[in-house]
Structure 1
């Protein structure tokens, strides 16, 4: 049986891989390497109950931390895989160390799609994907604070719903003529639009391009392409995600808007899964 399996990434997929490997009898060395300081956790509550303050941090964990000790799983957190040496089956890590593997699982997931509009790098402009992202957004939650959400997808609408229920004044701006245009039917879009407006969200669709975020030491307002101004104490941008493929591409693995695998999740290298 394989001696050492290393999992690059410590998100939901990594956690479930660990659970399944142990459940199915793998008793070799199992190492999880993740950039965040947290054990594998579920992300969906980040924009819902956890953002609302209705869920404790530890309830996000896929398994209690003691699970990994009890099942001889090595968690190497706050660490990133920098390079894969496929010939030597060796990983170069961000802390300067190296780690050999017999089989490697790439569970690197996705990252937020960042906005290139002017002012998007100002303090007070946020994206939401990680625990730390949610904690940073929560710091702005106070009654009557103005939030502008750019993008009316799942993340944008969920953040808007939690924020308005917490007493914030919320404006959602979307280029398309309906919310979640790419993923739901027009009827379902209409349902969510009505629900958000009835809850008090200012939902603006078919917005002109050319939006700019203004501020000095932090964000102050959002100005659209027609010059209309929206006061903003903070901004949340939710315009989708991109697959994290740089590590795989640098290693020479086949990628095509993601890491290419077969029906068994095997990449173009038979010793690397994704």
Structure 2
């Protein structure tokens, strides 16, 4: 019997892989292994309508949960692959078990970039990447108070907008001279700054966060390199993501700011593919 396809990771890319394999006529076994307890879901709504409480979790899922049963895809959720043994075409799981594969798809995604500064582990310092993160932040919204957002990118501004709608006192701190500096031109930065300020969000640019301060293990303020301080009952950090490449790297696959793949998502191993945020794709313009 064929070992079939194993997909490591259970995010949006994994859900699409299952759908595409079946729609293109693949009839063999499919196993999805993910460390979160949820079927694949979309992350973009997390910082918008889901955070605002305007949609429930069913609207966040990539496909309805029963899609995977109907697609005859085995879902191993809350489990983690800790090693890929390429010579034997095996994956090792965190419970000590192994699974064989004919083809392996790495859809390991990315994780938040954490600030390694004093006070980073204080209660009240949050990141937003998962459903659990959103639920924790919503709990703080219900308490009210002052929120500081570190990072003026898309995530930071989206969270700030939702919080302002909830009546939270919001300040955004951005290191660059303007918000969204890495992704839009100055005209659009000015537009988003104006829109957020009109909604009640305070925006400070050109400031570097140097540490979180607090007492009894809870955040109380944020310190900046120029001596400024900002009171905070809680803080959201949104300073980028890091591709999860460790599994591929330890397996000896080529990694350069992502798992290196060709235009068909193939790695240098003919039996291993990689998709989604964890990859580094060829670009016809940038190379």
User: TM (normalized to structure 1)?
Assistant: 0.97
Query: How many residues end up aligned between the 2 structures?
Result: 273
Q: Could you say which residue in structure 1 is the equivalent of 2:105?
A: 105
Corresponding residue SS for 2:259: coil
Give the conservation status (yes or no) of the 8 Å contact 2:6–2:103.
yes
Indicate yes or no: 2:247 matched with 1:247.
yes
Aligned ranges 1:20-35 → 2 under 5 Å: 20-35=20-35
Distance 1:61 1:16, change over 3 A: same
Corresponding residue SS for 1:87: helix
Give the conservation status (yes or no) of the 8 Å contact 1:9–1:107.
yes
Runs of 5+ unmatched residues, structure 2:
275-287
Corresponding residue SS for 2:178: coil
Runs of 5+ unmatched residues, structure 1:
none
Q: Could you say which residue in structure 2 is the equivalent of 1:231?
A: 231
Q: Could you say which residue in structure 2 is the equivalent of 1:212?
A: 211
Cα deviation for residue 226 of structure 1 reads 2.8
Indicate yes or no: 2:69 matched with 1:65.
no
1: CA distance, partners of 2:28 / 2:72: 9
How big is the alpha-carbon RMSD for the aligned residues of Structure 1 and Structure 2?
Answer: 1.3
Q: Could you say which residue in structure 2 is the equivalent of 1:78?
A: 78
Distance 1:186 1:231, change over 3 A: same
Query: Runs of at least 4 residues of structure 1 off by over 3 A?
Result: none
Cα deviation for residue 3 of structure 1 reads 4.7
Cα deviation for residue 143 of structure 1 reads 6.5
1: CA distance, partners of 2:209 / 2:143: 30
Q: Could you say which residue in structure 1 is the equivalent of 2:154?
A: 154
Cα deviation for residue 149 of structure 1 reads 0.4
2: CA distance, partners of 1:57 / 1:184: 31
Cα deviation for residue 227 of structure 1 reads 2.7
Deviations 1:150-174 (A, max 9, x none): 0000100000000001110000001
Deviations 1:63-93 (A, max 9, x none): 1111111111100000111000001000110
